[in-house]
């Protein structure tokens, strides 16, 4: 990368844009992290969609468009498998998890040879949400992605009730509230395009309505959203349902209760943990989750709280301006668990493109100079 070393927030935001667009491959994919052993060469639908959203908001529309074109090609290449999934589900004999679409693909759009915790549904909802938002923001005809949007809607409508791995690629036995939120946001976005025919729109509408019902009946405890159906635990990813996904009104009692619970249980010294029992790299605080909390706070009418989140996330940058996946800072939840991950995969993923993207998104929403609002 030939970017200047950022000495301030404006420089860090410029570096973030250059880093992301510079690392985007010719195929349009965003590698999750260029150097981290376990992620190298792979692009996640989850990370990639939020990365595209960040650069779209920051003004790099062409980069985001190229990413969504990559998504559409991947969906097209997997269309037959999607049809099998949908048909099997309709006949009451759903395909096994191993036959569902993976969470990540190589940058060339292939499944790759490495073992992974692959069955995750959230990224397919998130790409729908992000591509529709991007098209609206930049007045791009969304019909360019019509076939892929339609196929993704079919896939999600057929399978949204299934337990699968969550944002953290854990607990495949559970139905996760963050995953449901991403799916609902995606279905609602697709419905808003007018691209779905009446029957498909009806199916998507009913799935969205049922997801909303399930979240509010099975995904709430003590006035806040929970990690999965039937669990009273929290998860840092839940902020995303308030903003930017807008599945839960940030100013509602549930929205405010979720922010307050995350603040009380998952924040230390300004940074947000994934969940209390986290042991990954010892369980540090994540800049990207801190930005999600900032977005939720801003949407709930607390710009000062949001700004504090932005500043904390920015403070985690290395001297070269790279943002990590997580930081230790002497505040790990389980310090003894750290070394085993270093032995397995090397030091914490840095830079993580998703971290940079969330900084861009929060800065833009806060109207910080240097990033298009």
Q: Are 292 and 310 in contact (CB under 8 A)?
A: no
Q: How many residues bind ligand BGC (CB under 6 A)?
A: 10
Q: What sign does the CA torsion over 26, 36, 33, 102 have?
A: positive
**166 a catalytic residue:** yes
**Among 47, 118, 133, 169, the one annotated catalytic:** 169
Nearest approach, Cβ of residue 355 and ligand BGC (Å): 9
Specify the length of the chain in residues: 373
- The contacts of residue 335 (CB under 8 Å, 6+ apart) are 282
Does position 169 interact with ligand BGC (CB under 6 A)? The reply is yes
Does position 46 interact with ligand BGC (CB under 6 A)? The reply is yes
Residue sitting closest to ligand BGC (CB): 32
Q: What sign does the CA torsion over 60, 45, 167, 221 have?
A: positive
Q: With CB under 6 A as the contact rule, which of the stretches 130-138, 162-170, 192-200, 316-324 interacts with ligand BGC?
A: 162-170
- The contacts of residue 209 (CB under 8 Å, 6+ apart) are none
The Cα–Cα gap between 84 and 77 comes to: 13
**325 a catalytic residue:** yes
Q: With CB under 6 A as the contact rule, which of the stretches 167-175, 222-230, 240-248, 264-272 interacts with ligand BGC?
A: 167-175
Nearest approach, Cβ of residue 139 and ligand BGC (Å): 30
Does position 53 interact with ligand BGC (CB under 6 A)? The reply is no
75: nearest Cα among 132, 130, 183, 148: 148
Does position 39 interact with ligand BGC (CB under 6 A)? The reply is yes
Nearer to ligand BGC by Cβ, of 30 and 145: the residue is 30
Does position 254 interact with ligand BGC (CB under 6 A)? The reply is no
- Figure out which of the listed residues 50, 67, 312, 354 binds ligand BGC, where binding follows CB under 6 A: 354
Does position 44 interact with ligand BGC (CB under 6 A)? The reply is yes
Nearer to ligand BGC by Cβ, of 184 and 356: the residue is 356
**Among 122, 154, 325, 365, the one annotated catalytic:** 325
E strand map for the chain: 42-44, 104-106, 220-221, 224-225, 267-268, 271-273, 285-286
The Cα–Cα gap between 124 and 247 comes to: 16
- Figure out which of the listed residues 12, 23, 32, 58 binds ligand BGC, where binding follows CB under 6 A: 32
Which 3-state string (H, E, C) describes 270-314? Answer: CEEECCCCCCHHHCCEEHHHHHHHHHHHHHCCCHHHHHHHHHHHH
Q: Where on the chain is the footprint of ligand BGC (CB under 6 A)?
A: 32, 39, 44, 46-47, 167-169, 352, 354
Name the residues annotated as catalytic: 166, 169, 325
């Amino acid at each position: 990368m030939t970017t200047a070393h950022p000495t301030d927030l404006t420089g860090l935001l410029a570096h973030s844009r250059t880093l992301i667009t510079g690392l985007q491959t010719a195929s349009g994919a965003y590698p999750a992290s260029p150097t981290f052993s376990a992620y190298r060469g792979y692009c996640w639908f989850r990370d990639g969609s939020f990365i595209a959203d960040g650069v779209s908001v920051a003004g790099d529309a062409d980069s985001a468009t190229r990413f969504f074109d990559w998504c559409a090609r991947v969906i097209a290449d997997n269309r037959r498998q999607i049809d099998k999934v949908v048909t099997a589900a309709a006949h009451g004999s759903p395909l096994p998890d191993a036959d569902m679409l993976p969470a990540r693909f190589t940058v060339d759009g292939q499944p790759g040879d490495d073992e992974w915790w692959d069955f995750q549904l959230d990224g397919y909802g998130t790409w729908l949400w992000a591509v529709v938002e991007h098209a609206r923001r930049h007045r791009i005809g969304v019909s360019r992605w019509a076939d892929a949007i339609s196929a993704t809607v079919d896939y999600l409508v057929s399978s949204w009730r299934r337990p699968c791995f969550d944002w953290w690629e854990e607990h495949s036995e559970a139905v996760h509230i963050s995953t449901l939120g991403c799916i609902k946001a995606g279905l609602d976005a697709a419905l808003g395009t007018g691209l779905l025919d009446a029957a498909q729109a009806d199916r998507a509408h009913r799935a969205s309505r049922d997801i909303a019902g399930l979240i509010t009946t099975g995904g709430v405890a003590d006035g806040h959203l929970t990690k999965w159906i039937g669990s009273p635990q929290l998860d840092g990813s839940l902020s995303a349902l308030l903003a930017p996904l807008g599945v839960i009104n940030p100013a509602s009692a549930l929205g405010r209760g979720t922010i307050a619970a995350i603040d009380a249980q998952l924040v230390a010294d300004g940074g947000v943990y994934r969940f209390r029992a986290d042991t990954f790299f010892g369980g540090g605080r994540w800049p990207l989750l801190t930005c999600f909390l900032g977005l939720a706070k801003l949407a709930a009418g607390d710009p000062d709280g949001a700004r504090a989140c932005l500043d904390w996330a920015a403070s985690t940058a290395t001297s070269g301006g790279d943002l990590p996946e997580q930081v230790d800072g002497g505040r790990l939840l389980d310090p003894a668990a750290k070394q085993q991950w270093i032995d397995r995969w090397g030091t914490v993923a840095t830079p993580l493109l998703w971290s940079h993207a969330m900084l861009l998104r929060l800065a833009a929403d806060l109207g910080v100079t240097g990033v298009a609002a």
